[in-house]
Amino acid sequence: MSVIVLANILIVLTIVVGIVFTIVTVIGVIRLPDVYTRAHAASKSATLGVLSILLGVFFHFWLKEGHFSIQLLLAIAFLFITSPIGGHLMSRAAYISGVKPTKLTVGDDFAEVIKQAKLKNPPTHQKED
């Protein structure tokens, strides 16, 4: 096999993996029962899907067009750092503002922590008139 064929296989493989993971994300967001399981689906597999697509684009421009795009590598690193943090912050904001997890949940350690914290320094609401 020539180098061109190997490069094509690498590019097609990474992009197909990315698309499959993105589709899995969409199915997970539709099918899973509550906010937390959906955040789990959206932040994990969407990250891997987008990273894989970007990696495929990077390989395409590097191996076939001869352009080593440092910006795509930076984007991969940036998304890898930030998108799980986004999932974490959104699901924690949902929990603190009172979204209940699904009935299938067996343990809930965070509820106790939240209760303690609210007792120690009660939430400061603005005066309602």
Q: Does residue 89 bind another protein (CB under 8 A)?
A: yes
Q: Does residue 97 bind another protein (CB under 8 A)?
A: no
Beta carbon of residue 119, minimum distance to another protein (angstroms, whole number) = 10
- How many C-beta atoms surround the C-beta of residue 15 within 10 A? 18
Q: DSSP for 24-65, please give it.
A: HHHHHHHHSSSHHHHHHHHHHHHHHHHHHHHHHHHHIIIIIS
Residues binding another protein: number (CB under 8 A): 17
Choose among 90, 92, 99: nearest CA to 117: 92
Task: Rank residues 7 and 75 by Cβ distance to another protein and give the closer one.
Answer: 75
Task: Rank residues 100 and 118 by Cβ distance to another protein and give the closer one.
Answer: 118
Q: Does residue 126 bind another protein (CB under 8 A)?
A: no
Task: Give the separation between CA 72 and CA 59, rounded to whole angstroms.
Answer: 10
Site of interaction with another protein (CB under 8 A): 71, 74, 77-78, 81-82, 85, 88-89, 92, 96, 114, 117-118, 121-123
